[in-house]
Structure 1
Amino acid sequence: MEMPKTKALALAAATLIVGLGAGAAVAQEVITLKVSDWMPLTHYTVSEGGKVFMARAEELSKGRLKFEHYPAEQLGKAKDQLTLVQTGVADLANIAPAYITEKFPLSGVLELPGIYEGSCTGSYAYATMARPGGVLHENEFKPNGVRVLFSGALGAYRVLTANRKVSKAEDFSGLKLRTAGGPMDRVATLLQANSIRLAGPDVLPSLTRGTLDGVFWPLQSVKPWGLEKALHHMTPNLGVGSFMIVYAISDRAWKKLPADLQEVLVQAGDHATRAHCEYVDANETRTARELEAGGIAPTALPEADVKKIQAEYTKIYEDWAAALDKRGKPGHQVLEAFQKAVKRN
């Protein structure tokens, strides 16, 4: 029997409304991303970078993006963060390229001593090279199945020691100093010190036991890791490298997101990169004063010693790039690209 026209129209309208409602529900579906982090909540890279990134993404997505954050190695050690996103244990992770140099050897360019001044200069230069189309993305992050969203360069690393005061270049000789590996190993060799590679969480116990004499360490990371309890001397006028962390998302998780939420993550990452580096740059001098007031005595090296050491840094750059070239990696290309990016920023 034929349905009356008015009833058919009403049914069609109701069906359309239900369909539109279902579409709106799908469009507004909340997506929760699992974030693994090896740093503690007390570290400024989390509070001024990672947390800023997540809050900005939630804001820009109008609540469609949410995050489950697992800090302080709850899901895995610092060196395991890449594996966690590759295997799907996490969607995003705080990855430290220096801890897995076999996967990210080219990223060591940012760790070269004296290659940039200020966190923002280093962060912006690195971020440019780590985004799609950049030499670091194409050669390191893309092959490893991840995409960088937020780049955070720490401040310049200084030498801090527990009980051995360093007042001249010769005093570095024989010291057991924690480094982040990579180019910092070469700096330790230049200083005739012994490079001991350790991740952040393992440093305080080693200092306390006396198996380390000191550290290559950024000043603003001393208190977040509780190292002020064990360190008593610092060399304020010699930079020995730096360190980069990135918050990266797996390609698997990225491809599941609609285009508008992908753009949200890109914008949130750019926002966090800027917020983090501005915080670092604004607080470096204040932190040095606070550490001195807390009992870590600064002893400046003679200017002649500093110039002599820094004159050797160019050779470290060349050796670093040449070693990568021999492995079939674009070492010199990355070095030149980073130096140009630093000048632009």
Structure 2
Amino acid sequence: MQSLRTTTGAALVSLAIGLSPLAAAAQETVELNMATPWAGGHWLEIGAKKYAEIVDQMTDGRVKINVFPAGALGPALKVTESVQMGIADMGHAWGGYDWSVDRTSAMFAGWPGGPNPEEYMMWLYNGNGLTLWKEWRDDVFDVVAIPCGVTETEIFMHAHKAVRTVEDLQGLKLRTSSAWAEIAPKLGVSTVILPGSEVFSALERQVVDAIEWGGPGGNMQEGFDKIAPYMMMPGVHSRAAVHDCIYNKAAWERIPEKDQGLLEMAGKLAMLESYLGYAKMDIAAYEAMKKDSPAEMVQVDDSLVKAVGEASREWAVEQSGDNEWFKRVYEDQAAFLDSISGLAEFRFAPGAR
């Protein structure tokens, strides 16, 4: 399937009336079909569609991105594969869905030992994160990658029992994904992998004791706080994650070099837009839940946060033992986070007053 096409009608008309070929070429439009894993909601609207909108504006309409919901261009959880194969020209991707191919995806998909939203952006643009990301996507998946969105810190879990300490985790049956699915068992948790369509019913019917999903905005939309009596915070399992817009190489090569540069800039602007968008949505949702939610809001003990951090570092060292890409990215990310630790000494955290 070759869905990338160049519209040449305007150029032909221009030639017919005597304009130069260069002037005609300036009118050409490259059209790209984007696969996503999102059926709807804020990841589709604030994420994929926002990037497409920015690209359209920055290229004066020369690059048009048609955004398709989950399943329209290949399986929802195999966006990267659809882009590799050329089923889609490009995709709005989350590394966690490439977990089975390479555990390095956790370094970008969000993991308990990873950066928060601000730190992710600093690592990408002030450190080596962007270069490593592009090289990793190219080497392992054979696609061109542009980071194009940073997500919020998630709610730790919605559960049928209160969780405050490591002892409360013992035997807990938790729906989760990505790195936390392997780290949580080190703390006594029994993890279950479920597709998104089954998460609500599994929690409601108590097939699982607890679930993790997203930030306050997304979770309120899903209604998890209405079916489970406890909501735990903060999201130590996923402080943030990053989405990337990935391109099939053949499709990328047909985009003029100048517009390729603009697509890169669009990704950086989409990072800012998503950061601000999620923050606005989550603050409003959190205030609404504090006022109206039947769920009890529980702050976990510092001892649990510390235990999660220790288990995460242990897991990362294990992964580094036989995965050179993981080792390279993890060590760089950890070193960068250490290098900016001074920020906590002279700056206030967002919302701290």
The two structures share one fold, judged by TM-score above 0.5: yes
Q: Which one of 94, 103, 106 corresponds to residue 105 of structure 1?
A: 103
Q: For the residues of structure 2 that align with 1:271 and 1:18, how far apart are their CA atoms?
A: 39
DSSP 3-state at the match of 2:299: coil
In structure 2, which of residues 244, 257, 272 is the aligned counterpart of residue 274 of structure 1?
272
Assess, with a 3 A threshold, how the Cα gap between structure 1 residues 232 and 160 changes in structure 2: closer, same or farther.
farther
Q: Larger radius of gyration, structure 1 or 2? A: 1
Asked whether the 8 Å contact 2:229–2:294 carries over to 1, the reply is: yes
Q: 2:178 aligns with which of 160, 178, 181?
A: 181
Q: Does 2:202 align with 1:202? A: no
Q: Indicate conservation of the 8 Å contact 2:174/2:209, yes or no.
A: yes
Say if 2:284 is the partner of 1:289.
no
Partner of 1:157, secondary structure, is coil
Shift of the alpha carbon at 1:78?
3.4
Structure 1 residues 51-130: aligned runs within 5 Å: 51-110=49-108, 111-117=110-116, 119-126=117-124, 129=128
193-202 or 264-273, larger mean C-alpha shift: 193-202
Partner of 2:329: 334
The Cα RMSD (Å) is 2.8
SS in 2 for 1:147: strand
Which stretch shifts more, 284-293 or 82-91?
284-293
Distance (Å, rounded) in 2 between the aligned partners of 1:75 and 1:146: 17
CA displacement at 1:238 relative to structure 2: 5.3
Distance 1:237 1:265, change over 3 A: closer
Distance 1:332 1:143 in 2: 15
How many Å apart are 1:157 and its aligned residue? 3.1
State the distance in 2 between where 1:232 and 1:21 align.
Answer: 69
Task: Give the corresponding residue for 2:258.
Answer: 260
Equivalent-residue separation in structure 1 for 2:64 and 2:235 (angstroms): 42
Structure 1 position 299, deviation (Å): 1.8
Alpha-carbon spacing, 1:330–1:68, altered in 2? closer, same or farther (3 Å): closer
Q: Which runs of 5+ in 2 are unaligned?
A: 1-13, 344-353
Relative to structure 2, which stretch is displaced further, 214-223 or 18-27?
18-27
Q: 1:223 aligns with which of 213, 220, 223?
A: 220
Q: Which range moved further: 76-85 or 161-170?
A: 161-170
- When residues 312 and 235 of structure 1 are mapped into structure 2, their CA distance, relative to the original with a 3 A threshold, is closer
Q: Deviations over 1:47-103 (max 9, x none)?
A: 223222111111111111112111233323332101111111111112221122133
Q: Percent identity?
A: 20
- The DSSP-based 3-state class of the residue aligned with 1:79 is coil
Q: Do the aligned partners of 1:34 and 1:92 also contact (CA within 8 Å) in 2?
A: yes
For 1:193-219, what per-residue CA distance to the aligned partner results, in whole angstroms no more than 9, with x for missing partners?
111123433322322343222112322
SS of 1:148's equivalent?
strand
User: Which SS does the other structure have where 1:143 is aligned?
Assistant: helix
Contact preservation (8 Å) 1:150, 1:247: yes
What is the distance in 2 between the residues matched to 1:17 and 1:152? 43
Task: Say whether the 8 Å CA contact 2:84–2:248 is kept in structure 1.
Answer: yes
The code of the aligned residue for 1:29 comes to: E
Return the TM-score normalized by structure 1. Answer: 0.82
Q: Would the aligned equivalents of 2:48 and 2:67 in 1 still touch at CA under 8 Å?
A: no
Aligned positions, number = 322
Alignment of structure 1 residues 42-57 onto 2, 5 Å: 42-43=41-42, 45-57=43-55
| TM-score of the pair, normalised by structure 2 | 0.80
Name the residue aligned to 1:23.
Answer: 22
